[in-house]
Amino acid sequence: MKKGTRRNNEVRDHYDFSGGVRIKYADRYAEGTNVVVLDPDIARLFPNDQAVNEDAAGSGPNCSDTGAKANRH
């Protein structure tokens, strides 16, 4: 049998998702998540998401190079 194929549903019968709720935590997840879509020409400059975050952290409004001060409440 090829990998990834099943001829019967024996394993699947053990799972019962009938009481499941779709997208139950989607709102909670979205509250703590910011998604930024980069233009393709900008995205090519970064090897991964960590590199984007490091670069953005160094050039943000609270960066010491800009002389800006953080608003603290």
**Mean pLDDT on 10-28:** 81
Residue 28 region, left (φ>0) first, then alpha (ψ -120 to 50), else beta? alpha
The better pLDDT of the pair 49, 71 is held by 49
Q: pLDDT per residue over 20-64, tens digit each?
A: 888 888 888 888 878 889 999 999 999 999 999 899 888 766 655
The ranges assigned to domains in the chain are 37-73
Q: Which residues have C-beta within 8 Å of that of residue 65, sequence separation ≥ 6?
A: 58
The helix/strand/coil state of 12 is: helix
What ranges make up the beta strands (E) of the chain?
none
Question: 47, 73, 48, 71: which is closest to 60 by C-alpha?
Answer: 71
- Cα separation, 8 vs 11, in Å, equals 8
pLDDT higher for 10 or 16? 16
- The amino acid that residue 1 corresponds to is M
